[in-house]
Every structure is written in C-alpha cells, then in structure tokens.
Amino acid sequence: MIKQTNKGRKFANFLDWLTYKKDGHDPDYTFLLLLFIILICGLVFLASASSVISYDKYHDAYYLFKKQIYQGIFFGFLFFFILSHISYKFLRQYALPILLSGIILVLLVFIPGIGAEYLGGKRWINFPGFSFQPSEYLKLTLVIYLAAWFETKQEEIKDLKATFLPFVGLLAVIASLVLLQPDMGTTVIIVAICVSMYFLANGSLLYISSLGVVGSIIFWFLIKQAPYRAARLTIFLNPELDPQGIGYHINQAFLAIGSGGLLGRGLGHSRQKFNYLPEVANDSIFAVIAEELGFIFTFFFLVLFFYFFYKGFQIAKKTPDLFSRLLVSGIMVWIIWQVLINIMAMVGLVPLTGTPLPFISYGSSSLVILLTAMGIIFNISRYTK
C-alpha cells in the first residue's frame, strides 16, 4: 500500500508539473476573442471564395468549407485545449526531441508510398481520410527549439563560434529540407522566422546583415536554377509582360482587387472565383475578399489582424522568463511574416510565393498547427506579470 501511495503521489506530482498553474491568473480573453473573430471571418470568406471550385470538383458548394471545420477547426481547437493546459516549461525541457520529430516528419515526404506529390511538390504525408503537411509542424517545432536554445546562449548570443555559426548550420539544414520538396515560400518564411528570433534574442546586427547578404546571393542563385522561379521574378518586375501566360495569376489578382473598389461587389458576388483567379481558396483568397468587400472593409479587417498582433506582443512583453518571451514573439513573428508576404504578393509588392493567409486560407494542416500555437500563447498569458 505504501508503494502504491508513493507511486500515486509521484504521478500526481508529475501531473502538477505538466499542467503547472502555480501563481497563475486568468488568461488573456481579449486575445482569445480576437482569435475567434478572425476565425469566424475566415470561415465566412472561405465559404464564399471556395463555393465554385467546391461545386465543380465535389458537387457540393460547401465541401471545402465543411472540411475546414471538421478537420482544421475541430482538431485545431482540440490541440489548442491540450496545449493551453500543458506547462510551457514542458516544451522547454523537450525542445530538442520536439524539433527532431518535425525534421523526421519532413523527411517522410521523400519516402515513396508515404509522401504525396501534388503540383510537382512532395510536401504532404497521406493518412487514411486526410493528408498532412509536415513543414507547417516544422515551423512550430523550430520556434520552440530556438526559444529554448537562445535562452541558454544569452551570455554568448553574439559569439560567432558558440552561437551564430551553429544557428546558421541549423537554419541551412532546415531550409534545405524544405527547399528540396520544393517549397520556396515556406523556406522564405522559415528563414524570416529564424533571423527574426535571433534578432529578438539580442543577436549581433553585424552577423544578421552578413547573413542577409549571403542569403540574397543564394536566393538569386536558386532563382537562376529554376525556370519557374525566374518566371515569377520576371512577372513581378513586369506584370504586363504575359497576361495570358506566366503573368495570368497576378493579373487576375490585380483585376479582382481593383474591381472591388471602396465597397466591393458584395459578399458572395466575386466574379474572379468563377475559375478565373487561380487558388481562390488558398493563396489568392485575399484578392477575393478585396473584390467582394472592398477597400474599406478590407482595411478594417487588416486593422483587426494587427490589433491581434499587438495583443500577442503585449503578452510576450509581460512573460515571466526569456524562453516564454521568445516563444510568444517567435509565434507572432511567424504569423506576421505570412500575412505580410501573402498580401504583398497579391498586390504586387513581392513575387508570388504560394504562401497561405493564416487562419483564412483553406488548409487543415496550417490551421491545426496555428491553433496549437495559439494554445501555447493562451497558456503563457496566465503567467504574465
């Protein structure tokens, strides 16, 4: 009986540590409310933007909308709930195994019979009834690991050999794995996340600048090696060059955004979603939003997004330790980069990269991982000062 009691106490102590809530307070419900509003808007936008393509492919105008709910929303909030009740210190202690799990999943996409190929890219793992994109999970695991690692390296964060070169080596390995899929858009996001987190950890600005120069050279080399990347850059510089060929996508996006005017055509009344604009439910959904709802509503929707970012960084500012501060900041930086790159691509400020709009674009893998990350932030908001 004594042994069983001791075992029971050890298990209870483990659960207390796993769901550590000592000295905690109410979480940030304003942050959660903003998340709910963005998700609801995203579902409304997706229902409209995906209606034509859903009916054409699946004979159900709400097929992608319903799939986003029962795969993305359901599983996303399941993991949100779990991560919002698990101590963030657990993530710090097991940061390396978590990162390794992300790398292993990315490697699985290259194994025949496991990885699935779509539009020339090996980016998915097939499971019965659904597919999963490991690179989305890799983003989160990388943020967790870098937050834990940079915390241990604070005294030598600006040291070339002790910190910067190992950091660049890790970044090179991760970026190479994603680039081999190939997925240039996700590679850009991962590089942006890593460099931003190094900066937030008080890294050397000189090293960041040198990395930017080297990265620009590598980026130019990658463009020269792949004709489709060179074509995207050419169209970015000259959108009117081939409007019916390689410039078709961006020109249709311009047409959608421009025809929305101030007030838009009305929700559900997009013309470009009738098989004119490619990827209406994914990368191009912002163009459909602007067409249907116009400049004024789109502007206020972006204000909502940036207020959400502000609340996230407010949580990061008040966190109790460096790990949680870097973790929250890294997650928010990740989302900000994706929002900026997606929207800038649609308005012609950067080349098209195939980057989805967080919480809005169709994609259960992205939504599940994003909501998991939001669960981590919601959890940490209990311990802010």
Cβ atoms within 10 A of the Cβ of 226, count? Answer: 12
- Return the higher-pLDDT residue of 236 and 168: 168
6 within some domain: no
User: Bridge-partner residues for 118, per DSSP?
Assistant: 121
Residue 54 inside a domain? The answer is yes
pLDDT at 144: 96
pLDDT at 12 over 70: no
Name the band, by pLDDT with cuts 50, 70 and 90, for residue 350: confident
- Are the C-beta atoms of residues 116 and 122 closer than 8 Å to each other? yes
Instruction: Read off the pLDDT band of 198 (50, 70, 90).
Output: very high
On the question of pLDDT at 1 being above 50, the answer is no
Asked if residues 100 and 106 have their Cβ atoms less than 8 Å apart, the reply is no
- Is 87 within a domain? yes
Indicate whether 19 belongs to any domain: no
Which H or E run contains 88? helix 88-93
Answer positive or negative: Cα dihedral of 235, 236, 239, 243. positive
Domain count, the chain: 1
Per-residue confidence (pLDDT) for residue 2, from 0 to 100: 45
Indicate the helix (H) or strand (E) that contains 204: none
Q: With bands split at pLDDT 50, 70 and 90, how would you rate the model's confidence at 197?
A: very high
**Given a cut of 90, is residue 238 above it in pLDDT?**
no
In order of 18, 98, 303, the CA distances from 91 in angstroms are 10, 8, 32
Inside any domain, residue 320: yes
- Does the pLDDT value for residue 38 go beyond 90? yes
Q: Is the pLDDT of residue 299 over 80?
A: yes
Average pLDDT of the residues in 158-178 = 90
Query: What are the strands of the beta sheet with 121-127, ordered from one edge?
Result: 115-118, 121-127, 130-132
Is residue 192 scored above 60 in pLDDT?
yes
Q: Is 356 left (phi over 0), alpha (psi -120 to 50) or beta?
A: beta
> 187 in a domain, yes or no?
yes
- At 17, the pLDDT band (50, 70, 90 cuts) reads very low
pLDDT at position 234 over 80: no
DSSP 8-state symbol, 384: -
Q: How many CB atoms lie within 10 A of CB 223?
A: 18
Contact 362, 281 (CB under 8 A): yes
Average of pLDDT values for 231-258? 77
Is 119 a residue whose pLDDT tops 70?
A: no
Instruction: Give the C-alpha separation, 74 to 58, whole Å.
Output: 21
74 has pLDDT over 70: yes
pLDDT tens-digit series, residues 134-161: 899 999 999 999 999 999 988 888 888 8
Quote the pLDDT of residue 227: 67
Q: Assess whether pLDDT exceeds 60 at residue 371.
A: yes
Q: What is the pLDDT of residues 271-286, one digit of tens each?
A: 888 888 888 888 889 9
The answer as to whether 12 is a domain residue is no
Please tell me the least confidently modeled range out of 85-89, 199-203, 218-222. 218-222
Query: What pLDDT band is residue 347 in, cutting at 50, 70 and 90?
Result: confident
Q: Degrees (nearest 5) of the Cα angle 381, 384, 385?
A: 160
pLDDT at 249 exceeding the cut of 80:
yes
Question: For the whole model, what pTM was predicted?
Answer: 0.89
- CB-CB contact of 81 with 87 (8 Å): no
CA-based end-to-end distance of the chain: 43
Share of the chain above pLDDT 90, in %: 46
Average pLDDT, the chain: 86
pLDDT for the residue 364: 87
Expressed as residue numbers, the domain containing 189 is 26-383
Query: In terms of residues, how long is the chain?
Result: 385
Beta carbons within 10 angstroms of residue 316's beta carbon = 23
3-state secondary structure 315-376: HHHCCCCHHHHHHHHHHHHHHHHHHHHHHHHHCCCCCCCCCCCCCCCCCHHHHHHHHHHHHH
Identify the weakest region by mean pLDDT among 15-19, 222-226, 325-329: 15-19
Q: How many Å apart are CA 353 and CA 249, to the nearest integer? A: 12
Q: Is residue 184 part of a domain?
A: yes
